[in-house]
Amino acid sequence: MHRISDEQRRIRLGRRHLLAPSVRADSPVAAADAVVALHATDAATVFLAACARLTAPSIAVVERSLYEDVALVRLLSMRNTLFAVSAELAPCVDASTARSIAAKERRTLVSHLAEDSNRLDAIWLAEAEEAVLATLAMHGSATGSQLSADVPALKTKITVFPGRKHETVQGVATRVIRLLAADCRIRRDRPRGSWTSSQFRWTASDPWPALPAAEARAELARRWLHSYGPATEADFKWWTGWTLGNVRKALATVGAEEVRLDEGTGYVAPGDTAPEPPVEPWAALLPALDPSAMAWADRGFHFTADHRAELFDRSGNVGPTVWWNGQIIGGWAQRADGEIVLRLLADTGREATAAIEAEAARLRGWVGEARITPRFRTPLERELTA
């Protein structure tokens, strides 16, 4: 069995994730495709992750891809998490993952409606959704609050888990809008505020073409292996959120090859066992939830285990990180006055320090007056902004 060392994995990461300066992308779509999908739970992450991989970082260019060209689209998908993927890949992500999530979300809401004292049902829900779509057809785009003002059904409140320990009263507006987005009948348009805001306007969209789920899972597996391989079966299962059976079928369909890693058996795309050509030394400042730090269940090959408690929160969400040659060596944060502050957790020498400072200056240059606070805050990020 072919062996691939942790050092080779780090070289691959710098090249294939477009983090080394010589391989950076010229478009946000190429940046997203390099890592398969960009985390989008935190609105700022899409911009920060894309621009870290662009030759010329630009907020306007990312906005154009999201809202004008719609070449990047947000989908509720892997692990029931919001991701931004290229429009080319979106049908595969939708068929492999998002459809089943949307169906589960719908069953859950219909169940809650039925348990409420008003005894609402799927017909009521369908009528509420059609009213939302009619409002968007009239106005073009609208915020959630605007939709609630125009669609009386969205003002409805229901009792969830009646008579049980967790009984609570909830409005249905957010749930109905979330369902329409999960079904790709609406999409997020420009936010009310700046690019860091998560208060989006909504606009109508068309569902993606239906693909066979098994075929879509195989294509997603192929792309993931190219970007993140070598990686283990457990890594792929964690990233997708699929059942172990679907993971194994997808890996078998694409002919994934077994390789030996420091932690055991891993997989690569067929024929992808040759050593990666070296890249020049590189530094990067990546945002909270960046895919390069979140794509493996076992991330031990690119950071020291002693630093986990500082860099990750209790749920395993990574904060803003400082990278040198494929390893996480520290963290960064932005203070209230806009200053970008760093802390290195390892001594890597003058060359690394100079390259990291250059990346920090590059980040300051394009972020400008924006202020960035991660949704999931980590101990090191909190300490740096204290």
Per-residue pLDDT of 57-77, as tens digits, reads 999 999 999 999 999 999 999
CA distance 244 to 247: 5
Q: Which amino acid, 225?
A: L
Per-residue pLDDT of 319-331, as tens digits, reads 999 999 999 999 9
Q: Output phi, psi for 260, to 5 deg.
A: -100, 125
Contacts 24+ apart (CB under 8 A), 101-109: 101/76, 101/77, 101/182, 102/76, 102/179, 102/182, 102/183, 105/76, 105/178, 105/179, 105/182, 106/179, 106/182, 106/183, 109/172, 109/175, 109/176, 109/179
Q: Looking at the predicted structure, is the pLDDT value of residue 308 above 90?
A: no
- Asked, as a colleague might, if the bond just before 320 is cis with ω within 30 of 0, I would say no
Q: Across the chain, where does the E strand assignment appear?
A: 38-39, 72-76, 82-86, 142-143, 157-160, 168-171, 186-191, 200-204, 257-261, 264-268, 283-286, 321-324, 327-334, 340-344
Per-residue pLDDT of 185-225, as tens digits, reads 999 999 998 999 999 999 999 999 999 999 999 999 999 99
In eight-state DSSP terms, residue 121 is -
Min mean pLDDT across 214-218, 226-230, 273-277 is at 273-277
* H or E, element range at 100: helix 99-115
Looking at residue 118, its pLDDT comes to: 80
Compute the Cα dihedral for 139, 143, 149, 155 and give only its sign.
positive
Q: Looking at the predicted structure, is the pLDDT value of residue 299 above 90?
A: no
pLDDT tier for residue 143 given thresholds of 50, 70 and 90: very high
Instruction: Please check whether residue 164 is in contact with residue 134, taking contact to mean a CB–CB distance below 8 angstroms.
Output: no
pTM of the entire predicted model: 0.94
Looking at residue 303, its pLDDT comes to: 81
Taking residues 76-80, report their average pLDDT. Answer: 95
The bridge status of strand 321-324 relative to strand 283-286 is: antiparallel
